[in-house]
Structure 1
Amino acid sequence: MKAHAPYQITHLALENQGFTLPHLTTQEQGNYLVFWWDQLALGHLFLAPNSEISPETYPALVLKAIQPAIDHYATSIGAPADWIHKFKPEEPQQWVSWLEKIIAPQLPASVPAQVKVSVVICTRNRAPQLERCLAMLRDLKCLPREVIVVDNAPSDSSTQQVAQKFEEVTYVKEPRPGLDFARNTGVKNASTPLVAFVDDDVVVHPLWVYRVWETFQNPCTAAMTGLVIASELASEAQYIFEQHWSFNRGYQDKWYDDAFFNSNLTLGPPVWEIGAGANMAFRKAVFEQVGYFDEILDVGAAGCNGDSEMWFRILAHGLTVHYNPRAIVHHEHRRELSGLKKQIFFYMRGFTAAALLQQQQQPRANYKRRLGRVFPKYYLFLALRGFPFYRNRTSTLWAEMKGILSGYRYYRKNWQNSSVSPNGISPSKSKPKAEKVLTPLP
């Protein structure tokens, strides 16, 4: 079997690069191009290994990739939406001038040095990744008021030792294993009105904290998610994940509200489309209204989906979640197929358990129909399509199916232990004491 060719990620600044074809190595290598204008990511393009692309055909590919984002930003300021038909490759400066006017309203005139945001990092025995993450947060253009490291059931003191190197960091030890235990501990120790979560292995954009804070200037926003861009596509597992399980939700703003919720009750609202837990934030007050993360979900328990179950409850209460593509992080996917299959198993296990818990909260959300009718047909189709090799999309097929069955079993055994009552509210718990609290940012 032919070895999988790696994909090289190249970030292109259109205000500098324009529509000039960059030098790309295509022999035995694919290319993943991400297009930017200043601080805004506008779209991406996969180019398969050994693909031929010419300077004449390249501009059309770029335009197709960025059109949804440009349409979105143009519409937001009342500019004509037929811009693409007026584009002339031989007159790039005219297009550049027009696009600068479209993008300008999205760029901050000034950025405060610090905003009232608490950044929570839930981690366990990953000292090198954590240290890089904390160093990166310290160098942002706009700093959070505080950074909270939640050390989740550690087996050593390495996380605490790293946190102690950063005077602005609050260290909290959460002895109970499970991501949602750690998330709830982070929320309860936060002292600002906004709580943002980021994984310890992501690279955040210099304006990430500012964009999080900016999102909540709309009083109707209860929670938000942001754009997650792959930081590496060197292995087959990383390519499969980005193609079929990507955290990237696009380059346009999206608002999820009660209209989205109610219009999707037939098969259960697809709240997993809202974003990724690696880049999300909440008003702290929303936890008092809808409850905390359900602690029988996510790592150490069901597997995953504590974040999407929380978004479900927020929407069920008539509140709004905003996907803001200007709040950007870069995520490194798992490199090995074995690790990917394990990850997808827990995704589907957590998805199934969360869906059944959500059905329990809101009987009109017909997740049972999705699980009992739609999924069997879908997986039969995938099984037939992938036979007999099961590569690419179908390489994780059996892990997915096992995860769904495991999620059913987990739910039946544990649903009564859910920290969320049938009306979608989880009881408040006393604020845990930080094992060690260091001086927060002034």
Structure 2
Amino acid sequence: MKIHPPYHIKHIRLQEDPTPVYSDPSPTGSYLVFWWSDIALGDLYLEPNKKISEKEYYRLMRHAILPALRFYATEQQHLQPDWQKLLPDNNYKAWAITLEALFLNYTSTIVAERVPVSVIICTHNRASQLQQCLTNLSKLACQAVEIIVVDNAPTDAATEITVKQFTYAGNLAYVREPRKGLDIARNTGLKHAAYSVVAFVDDDVSVHHLWLHHVWDSFRNPGIAAMTGLVLASELQTEAQYLFEKHWSFNRGYADKIYTKSFLLNTYAQGPPVWEIGAGANMAFRKDVLEATGTFNELLDAGAAGCSGDSELWYRLLLHGYTIHYNPRAIVYHQHRKDIKSLRKQIFYYMRGHAAAALIQQKQYKGAAYTQHLIRLLLKGYTRSILRGFPSYQARYTTLWAQISGVLSGLIFYYKNR
């Protein structure tokens, strides 16, 4: 049996001397995340047992960070047109000076000590993870005036005890929701939120110390109704964690994206891929917008169809003409499942929820080709994967049967509950 090597996550600070991270072939892999100050710019996998030259390392690094640099450069018209030539293998000092100017608007802003945001954490029987999440939130440079912990269908009092023993400078509320379901818990949190902006994080994430500052910054634009942020892996020690990050990642890139109804209009023929907008582990909304359009669909996500309550809500917001901002400076770190069995179960419910949500979205606008999307997925996409993975179905194909059965289960769930 082939043993999957761990990947060590290394955060490369480019404002410091960007010494190339390469060496003699190693039995372990590396996952590099490149930063300028507190702004993530790109990532790069260095495979195990592979040596690369300094020249190749810089080439790969340029490829990883250029999309983000191009985005930030569009806002700095004074930059010289050939700024890309100043990458570190040519002239690091000049390059560093250029990047300092490139990110000045984002690194020189004043950070408020506290902002009027309600942070909602939905949890189920994971008191130790919740404790870490709350501790992390209490140490942010910019903190929320309110944190609401929704204890979803608990089997013991551990979560309640954890919240009541925790000290937080703002308001920390505990809400018990006996009905099982993530979207039920999310809607319960919304009912108890006192502030106009509500942000959701999962109990298995840790957040960057400027996370809430950047969440709030998105809503300084009155035209933004919702936002999502960057989700990075917190570790890639196991095969399951590596496979999830490689093929199911929550990471939506390092450059800002604005989603409007035109995103739907331009993709109706393929079934609008609203799941690309972000991840439920890191999202926020204007509360009055949800009151106008409806909150989370409780047929979706954990406890029901399995998943996609967040993406269905993003679809509905866009359908009503609202705007969503993907802000990659609002960063959280997610703890992926560690074993293959848990990964397969997770992917099964992802695809079950995906299929159910696609048909719910199809019903909202009949011109959206979600039915065709699911047919293509089953008849073409998975047929190709079955042939390619035969006979061993290793690596990414280890979840293939979970995907297929998840889609079929989601179709059955939708037609039973429509």
Instruction: State the TM bucket, normalised to the shorter chain.
Output: over 0.9
Q: TM-score, normalised by structure 2?
A: 0.97
1:357 maps to which of 340, 347, 360: 360
TM-aligned CA distance change 1:86 to 1:93, over 3 Å: closer
Contact 1:293 1:307 in 2 (8 A): yes
Mean Cα displacement is larger for which, 2-11 or 102-111? 102-111
**Aligned counterparts of 1:252 and 1:81: Cα–Cα separation in 2:** 20
1:388 maps to which of 377, 391, 407: 391
**Aligned counterparts of 1:324 and 1:84: Cα–Cα separation in 2:** 23
Q: TM-score, normalised by structure 1?
A: 0.91
Partner residue in 1 for 2:276: 273
Structure 1 residue 22 displacement after superposition: 3.4
**Aligned counterparts of 1:117 and 1:25: Cα–Cα separation in 2:** 48
Contact 1:24 1:31 in 2 (8 A): no
Equivalent pairs counted in the alignment come to 414
Contact 2:144 2:212 in 1 (8 A): yes
TM-aligned CA distance change 1:374 to 1:151, over 3 Å: closer
Mean Cα displacement is larger for which, 61-70 or 271-280? 61-70
The aligned runs of 1:170-249 (5 Å cut-off) are: 170-249=173-252
2:305 maps to which of 302, 305, 309: 302
TM-aligned CA distance change 1:24 to 1:247, over 3 Å: farther
Aligned-pair Cα RMSD in Å = 1.3
**Aligned counterparts of 1:89 and 1:343: Cα–Cα separation in 2:** 42
**Aligned counterparts of 2:290 and 2:90: Cα–Cα separation in 1:** 54
Q: Share of identical aligned residues, percent?
A: 53
Mean Cα displacement is larger for which, 52-61 or 337-346? 52-61
Contact 2:136 2:206 in 1 (8 A): yes
Establish whether residue 32 from structure 1 lines up as the match of residue 31 from structure 2: yes
CA deviation profile, 1:150-175 (whole Å, cap 9, x unmatched):
00010111111011023431000111
Structure 1 residue 61 displacement after superposition: 1.8
Partner residue in 2 for 1:68: 67
Structure 1 residue 328 displacement after superposition: 0.1
Partner residue in 2 for 1:93: 93
The aligned runs of 1:157-168 (5 Å cut-off) are: 157-167=157-167, 168=171
**Aligned counterparts of 1:408 and 1:56: Cα–Cα separation in 2:** 50
Partner residue in 1 for 2:139: 139
CA deviation profile, 1:95-119 (whole Å, cap 9, x unmatched):
1001100011122421111001110
Contact 1:12 1:35 in 2 (8 A): yes
Partner residue in 1 for 2:4: 4
Partner residue in 2 for 1:432: none
Partner residue in 2 for 1:411: 414
Contact 1:150 1:171 in 2 (8 A): yes
Contact 2:227 2:324 in 1 (8 A): yes
**Aligned counterparts of 1:374 and 1:127: Cα–Cα separation in 2:** 38
1:282 maps to which of 277, 281, 285: 285
Structure 1 residue 361 displacement after superposition: 1.1
1:265 is paired with a residue whose SS is helix
2:325 is paired with a residue whose SS is strand
**Aligned counterparts of 2:40 and 2:159: Cα–Cα separation in 1:** 33
Partner residue in 2 for 1:153: 153
Which structure's relative contact order is higher, taking Cα pairs within 8 Å and 6+ residues apart? 1
Contact 1:74 1:80 in 2 (8 A): no
1:276 is paired with a residue whose SS is coil
Moved over 3 A (4+): 22-26, 79-82, 85-88
Partner residue in 1 for 2:350: 347
**Aligned counterparts of 1:372 and 1:87: Cα–Cα separation in 2:** 46
1:145 is paired with a residue whose SS is strand
CA deviation profile, 1:220-254 (whole Å, cap 9, x unmatched):
11101000000111111111111100000000000
Structure 1 residue 23 displacement after superposition: 6.3
Structure 1 residue 321 displacement after superposition: 0.8
TM-aligned CA distance change 1:294 to 1:74, over 3 Å: same
Contact 2:378 2:404 in 1 (8 A): no
Establish whether residue 313 from structure 1 lines up as the match of residue 316 from structure 2: yes
**Aligned counterparts of 2:387 and 2:59: Cα–Cα separation in 1:** 36
TM-aligned CA distance change 1:277 to 1:108, over 3 Å: farther
Establish whether residue 258 from structure 1 lines up as the match of residue 261 from structure 2: yes
> Which blocks of at least 5 consecutive residues in structure 1 are unaligned?
416-442
Q: Which amino acid aligns with 2:106?
A: Q
Structure 1 residue 28 displacement after superposition: 1.1
The aligned runs of 1:49-60 (5 Å cut-off) are: 49-60=48-59
Mean Cα displacement is larger for which, 213-222 or 167-176? 167-176
Mean Cα displacement is larger for which, 350-359 or 106-115? 106-115
Contact 2:308 2:357 in 1 (8 A): yes
CA deviation profile, 1:32-81 (whole Å, cap 9, x unmatched):
00000100000010011011023333222211111110111001222356
Structure 1 residue 2 displacement after superposition: 1.9
Q: Which amino acid aligns with 2:203?
A: D
Contact 2:24 2:51 in 1 (8 A): no
Q: Which amino acid aligns with 2:345?
A: K
> Which blocks of at least 5 consecutive residues in structure 2 are unaligned?
none
TM-aligned CA distance change 1:399 to 1:297, over 3 Å: same
CA deviation profile, 1:198-226 (whole Å, cap 9, x unmatched):
01111100001111000011111110100
